[in-house]
Amino acid sequence: MNAEPERLQPVFDRAFAGIRQVREAFTPQLTPQEVGTITRVATGIAKVSGLPGVGFDELVAFPGEVLGMAFNVDEDDIGVVLLGEYWHLHAGGEVQRTGRVMDVAVGDGVLGRVIDPLGRPLDGHGPVIASQRLPVERPAAAIMDRAPVTTPLQTGLKVVDALIPIGRGQRELILGDRQTGKTALALDTILNQRDQNVLCVYCAIGQRASAVAKAVAILREKGAMAYTVVVVTEGNDPAGLAYIAPYAATSIAESFMEAGRDVLIVYDDLTHHARAYRELSLLLRRPPGREAFPGDIFYIHSRLLERATHLRPELGGGSLTALPIIETEAQNLSAYIPTNLISITDGQIYLSPALFELGVLPAVDVGQSVSRVGGKAQRAAYRAVAGDLKLAYAQFEELETFSRFGARLDENTRTIIEHGRRIRACLKQPESAPVSVPAQITVLLALTANLFDDVPLDQMTAAEQTVIQAAAEIPADVSERLKTAEKLSDADRATIIEIARQALAGRLPKPSP
């Protein structure tokens, strides 16, 4: 009877020895976690106490999976910008640190998707599959990492490509009063990037849901969503989401640029962004300045647009072209936010309400628009006609104003005015109908050669379409030289003008006997 317990004793001894060894080797891992308390909730912001180690721009987690961003780090409490629905939050609720900054999903998985600044899908096509995440706030590329702007970004709009050219890596401001076609111009530029090896990011900031839906529908209908990412904050979203939206969109664009791709980003529009930042700053008791904007309103836009650049070939040679949009009030270009953006960007395209009302679309005011960088990247064929065209158009605009007084005009002045009217008619273009490079150059060369001067004004649209269709007859070698040659040769110019002349021959009025 005693033999059985004696055989079991060594088994128990080994088991207890093993347990003792594991117990002695175990070190409890205590993870300290800072938990704060909500002291006050206001429109889009919250005041939190009890998080002494929180850093600026760090994400904090609220009940109900709502995130917030530490915006004011004061001695006694922190001001947090809320990034979601906050109706259920109240004083006394728990707040936890996350230990990370605001980031967004990037990579090929976001192409063709409509997302919010937090990377959540809004298009109902399932979760976003992202290869990595990047912080929304990133330092801009160093000066020595940048390369000159040398390649044009074709918008498909004759007036822009010829007179206000944009280069890849440039920042070109689009500004004008409301309802003058700013978004339409930006969307047309996105549509024209099809088959151009350019990816696009469209960032809608504080827009009406119907306006965003219309823009996305246009992009889908024209097949542009295949190379486009749409980042959306609607007008009824918290101001915090509107504030981080352009930074999140830029991080998405930068991921493609750093992979060696050419990227176009549209911010529509930074007026809403500035107002969202003003709202948050005033609620958090930051000192107001001019027009109640905080003192660093210039810096929030400059650090955003400094991220648009053209990288050196050693870094992949990618580029990020920015088209920020600004809404002016009563054509006041010298207001606070417009002048800030004009001084940050490399040029501006101004859309005039007067031209819009006359039916001149796109309503680009050539006299008040400028591109300070794009001219270096413009194709030689455009440069051959742009100077003469701009001068003739400027002369026409001055003489047209003068002729309204009913003064008697000499023959030379009437010729300049008639030629100018045909330039204006040719620079008109319907929405969502970009024109190819050979077709644009054919029309512009026909204009400078005065081939349209004998066409009646009411037949100009049909005559221009005839010339655009005739551009398909340009020999392949000439078309290739239009894109690559450093100078438009006289032979190529003569070939193109002759094609345009033959196309217009049937439309010119027959001389009277």
Please say if 507 is a catalytic residue.
no
- CATH class in words for 35-101: mainly beta
pLDDT band at residue 2 using 50, 70 and 90 as cut-offs: low
pLDDT band at residue 371 using 50, 70 and 90 as cut-offs: very high
Domain ranges of the chain: 35-101, 104-376, 381-504
DSSP letters along 394-428, please? Answer: HHHHHHHHHHTT-----HHHHHHHHHHHHHHHHH-
345's tokens: 């960007």
Distance CA 222, CA 156 (A): 14
Overall pTM > 0.85: yes
Distance CA 324, CA 322 (A): 6
Phi-psi region of 12 (alpha: psi -120 to 50; beta: other; left: phi over 0): alpha
- Answer whether the bond into residue 388 is a cis peptide, omega within 30°: no
Residue 75 · residue 94 · CB < 8 Å: no
pLDDT of amino acid 22: 84
CATH number assigned to the domain covering 104-376: 3.40.50.300
Q: Which residues pair with 349 in a beta bridge?
A: 174
Mean pLDDT of 410-436: 92
Distance CA 157, CA 170 (A): 17
CB count in 10 Å sphere of residue 126: 8
- Answer whether the bond into residue 362 is a cis peptide, omega within 30°: yes
Residue 238 · residue 69 · CB < 8 Å: no
CATH number assigned to the domain covering 381-504: 1.20.150.20
The whole-chain average pLDDT of the chain stands at 92
pLDDT at 270 over 70: yes
Helix (H) or strand (E) run with residue 233 in it: strand 228-234
pLDDT at 75 over 60: yes
Residues in the chain: 513
Residue 176 · residue 353 · CB < 8 Å: yes
pLDDT band at residue 27 using 50, 70 and 90 as cut-offs: confident
pLDDT at 20 over 90: no
102's tokens: 């605001």
Using CA atoms, how far residue 360 sits from 72, 240, 401, 493, 512, in Å, is 48, 38, 16, 28, 32
Q: Per-residue pLDDT tens for 466-485?
A: 999 999 999 988 888 888 87
Mean pLDDT of 362-373: 94
Q: 3-state DSSP: the chain helix, strand, coil percent, rounded to 5?
A: 45, 20, 35
Using CA atoms, how far residue 349 sits from 204, 216, 258, in Å, is 19, 23, 28
- Which residues lie closer than 8 Å to 41 by C-beta, 6 or more apart? 47, 86, 89, 90, 91
pLDDT of amino acid 1: 43
pLDDT at 329 over 50: yes
Q: Per-residue pLDDT tens for 79-91?
A: 999 999 999 999 9
Q: Provide the edge-to-edge strand list for the sheet that holds 347-351.
A: 114-115, 228-234, 198-207, 262-268, 319-327, 173-176, 347-351, 370-371
Helix (H) or strand (E) run with residue 347 in it: strand 347-351
Distance CA 245, CA 357 (A): 33
pLDDT at 243 over 60: yes
Q: Per-residue pLDDT tens for 177-212?
A: 999 999 999 999 999 999 999 999 999 999 999 999
Please identify which of the residues 20, 120, 290, 372 carries the catalytic annotation.
372
pLDDT band at residue 359 using 50, 70 and 90 as cut-offs: very high
CB count in 10 Å sphere of residue 135: 15
pLDDT at 303 over 50: yes
Distance CA 442, CA 195 (A): 21
Q: Do domains 35-101 and 104-376 have the same CATH topology?
A: no
pLDDT of amino acid 240: 95
